[in-house]
Amino acid sequence: MAAYFCSRHSLDKPPQPKKVRDEEEEELQAAIRASMQTNDDDDDDDDDDDDSSDFDVDDDDSQQMIHIDDDDDSMDVKVETPKIPSFQEVLATMEVGDEPTTNGDDCCRVMIRMPDGKRLVRRFLTQDTVKIIYAFVAQSKLEDRPFDLKVGFPPKNLFDRVDNTIRECGLGGETITVCWQLVD
């Protein structure tokens, strides 16, 4: 390994490129040429209709640039696309509803331990989804940061089961811990 490095990086001559890299580049160029020929051959087989168009879409968060290529002309069009709300934004606007007042089989009590040590105890309907608990926490916490809900030991993240019911997850009588997500 050291001999390889020294043979490629010497003080008295410029570094030499790897031969393997050149071969990879040639193979890549050959593959591109072959795919272009295949596409050209496929275009010859198609029926030429005046109504056919090719669309190329550039992805962006709020706008898309669509390239329309007709037989006679081509143009670029900017199209406004609706922004898909994040999970946190959905939770903030979700209707949690009032706390159930009954203590029957269709209700369960859940204790939620917040990151600041505060504990919240609330009853939920057992047919409610875990997303309702996420929304309740999102609407009652002080900081606007992404968080995870974990339950059990070892703690398991509830995000994978967000569409399951509270009964299916066995959360009745459990303690759910709120943990801040680490943001890079």
The 10s digit of each residue's pLDDT in 107-130 is: 989 999 988 889 999 999 889 899
Q: What local confidence, expressed as pLDDT, does residue 102 receive?
A: 77
Per-residue pLDDT, 111? 92
**Diameter of the chain measured on Cα atoms:** 86
CA distance 103 to 123: 9
**What's the pTM value of the predicted model, to 2 decimals?**
0.55
Which pLDDT belongs to residue 38?
56
Beta strands 147-151 and 119-125, pairing class: unpaired
Q: For the chain, which ranges sit under pLDDT 70?
A: 1-22, 38-79, 141-142, 184
pLDDT (0 to 100) of residue 90 = 79
List, in sequence order, every residue forming a beta bridge with 122; answer none if it has no partner. 110
Q: Give start and end residues of each alpha helix (H) in 9-125.
A: 19-45, 87-93
